[in-house]
Amino acid sequence: MTDYQMLIDGKWESGTGTMPVLNPANESVMATVPKATPEDAERALAAAARAQRAWGRRTGLERGNILRQWAALVDKNKPHLAQILSQEEGKPLTEALGEIDFGRSWLEYYAEFDRRIEGDIVSADKPNEQLWIVPQPVGVVVGIIPWNYPSALTLRKAAPALIAGNALVLKPHEDTPLSALEMAKLAQEAGVPEGVFSVLTGAGEVVGEALVKSRIPRLVTFTGSVETGKHIMRMAADTVKVVSLEMGGKAPFIVMDDADLESAVKTAVFSRFLNCGQVCICNERTYLHKRIADKFLSRFIEEVKKLKVGNPLESGVTLGPKVNKPELEKVERYVDDARKSGAEIIIGGKRPSGEAFKNGYWYEPTIITNVRQNMSIMQEEVFGPVIPVMEFNDFDEGLTLANDSRYGLAAYLFTNDMNRILRAVRDMEVGELYINRGPGESIHGFHTGWKQSGVGGDDGKYGLEEYLQRKTVYIRYQG
């Protein structure tokens, strides 16, 4: 077991109290981390404000070189980072290794903006005048992240924040703080200056709130649940901060009668059970055209039965535990509600039995049929290895069912009909649409939620824009 410290203003600190970090596969305490206080939050923010002035005045090239160095260190330490990630979050080691690469790609990608942050010179309305629109860093940024991709999301926030010349104070989730702290060690080694990147561990309701309420930061970039995001938005209103909110989803997965069925089946399995179903863009509700429903379902069941639940560090395991007990109990509640409302559990629907699963937060891969659109399992984000499956009659009905949600993060459509594809592009109320393929956004796309799934977004040139503010300058000259 390791006693971790948190990073404030370039110094590692133990704080005044600690909290345990559990391994969700066996409930053992794998580490402790400090419990930051509101005073710690304010100190980290004040240090960030001091450090940001010098950091923002460095050239883009200097900042880019530090990000490149950081990326190289992530690559060098990949096995260690993946082990820690797998143990604190519960994802299979192969997935953890993939997440480390995914995270590193943000450092590499945003380093390329070292010479590419651009302003405008537009024609002035008056003679002897210049009109410039100048991009500048927002200043101090607060990043608040969830537990499901604690390593990659650290870098998804840090890379654009830092290349734009901001300082970032990051608060990882209580259950998965170690990946962010490990990344902070590498940031220091790469040459990120004191105060430019701090990591505070502790409770969202205490240190998270203090960070959001402080007068110092100008931007809060948050990834997490809709409920917390709404609360953050309300709190940020008092100081008129910019908020960028990446929140939950309830992605529909529509399979039409002309689809490549084998590909649809395999993708439906992958996009539901990846990371134990704990992905914001996961297939949360599968809709099958009535003509292919039976055929799809029997192949789907076969494929789901092949999933191997077990110790995430063991090779061949494809499904780890849920991240914590409340999350496990939430999944159980949704399944029980569905059962009570008349749904049929085709496979799973319970915790696995046996010595290997005595401790830890395990749940069997579960398929549910006989569901109705108004059931909670079809409306609320389950975020677990559970998939409700429903039939529909035609494309119009499929679209209507897909859009019948307060969420609007992602959607999947399997069809080879160009008219349907183009209609989906026009009519699907989501920020991310996957056609004939599974999940996995590109760093240069724009990861954004519509409706209650979010405000603003991450990645690419549009994501970078969140970390900049623009100043319009009117200059009059003589002669």
Residues serving a catalytic function are 246, 280
Contacts of 219 (CB under 8 A, 6+ apart): 138, 139, 140, 141, 142, 166, 241, 242, 243, 244, 466, 467
Of 282, 276, 216, residue with least CA distance to 434: 282
Q: Which is nearer to ligand NAD, 64 or 208 (CB)?
A: 208
| Residue 30, both tokens | 């794998």
Q: Which is nearer to ligand NAD, 278 or 415 (CB)?
A: 278
Contact indicator for 375, 343 with CB cutoff of 8 Å: yes
Sheet (strand 242-246) strand order: 11-13, 6-8, 197-199, 167-171, 140-144, 219-223, 242-246, 454-455
Q: Which is nearer to ligand NAD, 15 or 224 (CB)?
A: 224
Nearest residue to ligand NAD, scored by beta-carbon proximity: 204
CB of 153 to ligand NAD, least distance (A): 7
Q: Which is nearer to ligand NAD, 195 or 454 (CB)?
A: 454
Q: What is the DSSP letter of 324?
A: S
Q: Which is nearer to ligand NAD, 108 or 175 (CB)?
A: 175
Distance CA 59, CA 185 (A): 23
Name the site residues for ligand NAD (rule: CB under 6 A): 144-149, 171, 173-174, 204-205, 208-209, 212, 223-225, 228, 231-232, 246-249, 280, 381, 383, 409, 447, 449, 454
* 22, 402, 446 from 406: Cα distances, Å: 33, 11, 20
Of 382, 369, 350, 366, residue with least CA distance to 284: 382
Q: Tokens 């089946």 appear where? A: 265
Distance CA 161, CA 466 (A): 9
CB of 204 to ligand NAD, least distance (A): 2
CB of 186 to ligand NAD, least distance (A): 21
Q: Which is nearer to ligand NAD, 86 or 201 (CB)?
A: 201
| Residue 390, both tokens | 């429903």
Q: Which is nearer to ligand NAD, 83 or 225 (CB)?
A: 225
State the Cα angle at 214 between 212 and 216, rounded to 5°. Answer: 110
Kindly state the helix (H) or strand (E) to which residue 289 belongs, with its residue range: strand 283-289
CB of 458 to ligand NAD, least distance (A): 7
CB of 406 to ligand NAD, least distance (A): 12
Contact indicator for 402, 415 with CB cutoff of 8 Å: no
Q: Which is nearer to ligand NAD, 117 or 153 (CB)?
A: 153
CB of 61 to ligand NAD, least distance (A): 30
CB of 176 to ligand NAD, least distance (A): 8
CB of 20 to ligand NAD, least distance (A): 15
Helices (H), 353-416: 376-379, 395-403
Distance CA 283, CA 272 (A): 5
Distance CA 109, CA 199 (A): 22
How many Cα atoms sit within 13 Å of 432 on the Cβ side?
31
